Amino acid sequence: MSTAVITGGTDGIGRGLAEEYLRRGYDVLVVGTSKTKGEMFARSAERAHFLAADLSRVSDNERLVAHIADRFPAIDVLVLGARYHRPARLVTPDGFESNFALFYLSRFLFSHGLASALGRAEAPVVLNFGGAGSQVPVRWHDLQLEQDYHGVGAMGHAARLNDLLGVHFVAQHPDIRYVLNHPGVVATSFAGEYDRATSAQVSHLRATGKSVATSVGQILPHLDPPGRNGLTAVVEGALVPLAPKWFDRGDAARLHETTERLLAELPR
């Protein structure tokens, strides 16, 4: 039996992928905060599972990773899709800026924490909705975005960090494929809180974005085993080159070390 684990699988593109893997006969576990949405998914099939968690909390990530690794010894597909827009900077109880915590750190903890389980699958793949070639500069001296916070910019910065997460992950786990994906504009829930101006923009994006089904159709060919290992970056269904400047191994190693240090410094 194949297994797919999908954070942000209770809504949007993650939910679309969850339904596709159910159709394919996989065991599918989705993670989100909404019990209503998650339990509705879990009721849809015997192989559909839901775990509720606030993935902006390090302890919730660690609890889930341990639970999932115990319950599913081999994981074929890991999708990292949870996100939540905030118009004003918010610091989590762990002391991290909320986008750093949910959009980047959770994905770091899931990628590395489930690497052994991924390594036991025949052709494992991780899908991370990163920048896929984002040229946003890394704020090395302000990773917690204390200066000039902007909600959309904060998500863009976290997406850039996820590109570097992918670079370092494949250096450590060359047998696990890692796909960075930017889906373009997709009509989803756009989970989050929005001020009036951004809310109008989001309504426009919801009205004009491609459907979840179209987006899933653009993503799947890159997840199905293509006969190559390592990192790929995909924007709206098309492969993009891994430009050395933006997928720099030194930057990726630096971010990895910084992240490990931040986690080690957390009071337990």
Ligand X SMILES: NC(=O)c1ccc[n+]([C@@H]2O[C@H](COP(=O)([O-])OP(=O)(O)OC[C@H]3O[C@@H](n4cnc5c(N)ncnc54)[C@H](OP(=O)(O)O)[C@@H]3O)[C@@H](O)[C@H]2O)c1
Q: Which residues bind ligand X (CB under 6 A)?
A: 8, 10-14, 31-34, 37, 53-56, 81-84, 102, 129, 182-183, 185-186, 188-191, 209
Q: Which is nearer to ligand X, 191 or 253 (CB)?
A: 191
DSSP state string for 18-65: HHHHHHTT-EEEEEES-HHHHHHHHTT-TTEEEEE--TTSHHHHHHHH
- Across the strands, what pairs with 168? none
Q: Shortest approach of ligand X to residue 232 CB, angstroms?
A: 16
Q: In which element (H, E) is residue 256 found?
A: helix 249-264
Q: Which is nearer to ligand X, 92 or 144 (CB)?
A: 92
Q: Shortest approach of ligand X to residue 187 CB, angstroms?
A: 7
Q: Which is nearer to ligand X, 235 or 253 (CB)?
A: 235
HEC string of 142-205 equals: CCCCCCCCCHHHHHHHHHHHHHHHHHHHHHHCCCCEEEEEECCCECCCCCECCCHHHHHHHHHH
Q: Which is nearer to ligand X, 57 or 168 (CB)?
A: 57
Q: Which is nearer to ligand X, 128 or 259 (CB)?
A: 128
Q: Which residues of 119-152 are buried (b: 16+ CB within 10 A; e: fewer)?
A: eebebbbbbbbbbbbbeeebbeeebbbeeebebe
Q: Shortest approach of ligand X to residue 10 CB, angstroms?
A: 4
What is the token pair recorded at 65? 């990773």
Q: Which is nearer to ligand X, 139 or 206 (CB)?
A: 206
Q: Shortest approach of ligand X to residue 93 CB, angstroms?
A: 12
Contact 219, 226 (CB under 8 A): no
Q: Shortest approach of ligand X to residue 12 CB, angstroms?
A: 2
Closest CA to 157 of 141, 176, 173: 141
Length in residues, the chain: 268
Q: How far is CA 235 from CA 42, 157, 180, in A?
A: 30, 17, 8
Nearest residue (beta carbon) to ligand X: 12
Q: Which is nearer to ligand X, 7 or 259 (CB)?
A: 7
- Cα–Cα distance, 226 to 6 (Å, whole number): 21
Q: Shortest approach of ligand X to residue 85 CB, angstroms?
A: 8
Q: Shortest approach of ligand X to residue 251 CB, angstroms?
A: 21
